[in-house]
Structure 1
Amino acid sequence: MGSPLSPILVNVYMNKMEESFKMTPLQPAVLMRYLDDYFALWSHVREKLEEFLKFTNKIDEKIQFKMEVEEGKRSPFLDVEVIRSNGTLKKKLFRKKSNAGIILNFMVPSQLHA
């Protein structure tokens, strides 16, 4: 997404796609989006979630969704780990297992390429 217009165009297109989501008989209890990443809470049986995913992937063959289902009451979303606990959702910073913890020092000068 190199163009400054990219986030705007993503929002316009994804809003249009979300209208198509409403055509399915079963809906997520919660559906939230950050650009083209979705977080959903599903209150129906797992098989119906698979059907919902198949439906969304048929809307536009160029846009294909994948899903991650919670494991052990935990689910990563972007840089956040969402934790289901006593009927509430908690969050904490999520780091992938491949994260080496290496951070560039802001004070170290770097070469700018012209």
Structure 2
Amino acid sequence: MELDLLITELDATTIQLDKMRYLATQISNKASEKTQRAKNAFEYDFESREIFKCSAILLDYIEVVDNAIKKSVTKLAEYDTKLRKENAKALSADSAKVDFGVTADPSKNN
């Protein structure tokens, strides 16, 4: 059940990354608007170009982190599934036994 909590936290982090991605896209859009209104090449080069560069770096970083989280969630879910199957097998093996060493198969009892 700790895995469920971890997966939930990773999902929440992914939601935060989606918000960051949205904001970075908004920054890029603002830079585009600024470029369209730039009075001269120097103004464009100095401000808008740096904004675009920062936005692109931020979006790349967000994408890398988001992919890493998605891979982690997938691996954790696979591991959790494996553990649940192993636990189910162990429980079914235990349920074949009856207390005090008597088995469910009457032919094996003396």
TM bin (shorter chain): under 0.3
Larger radius of gyration: 2
User: What TM-score do you get using the length of structure 1 for normalisation?
Assistant: 0.24
**More strand per residue:** 1
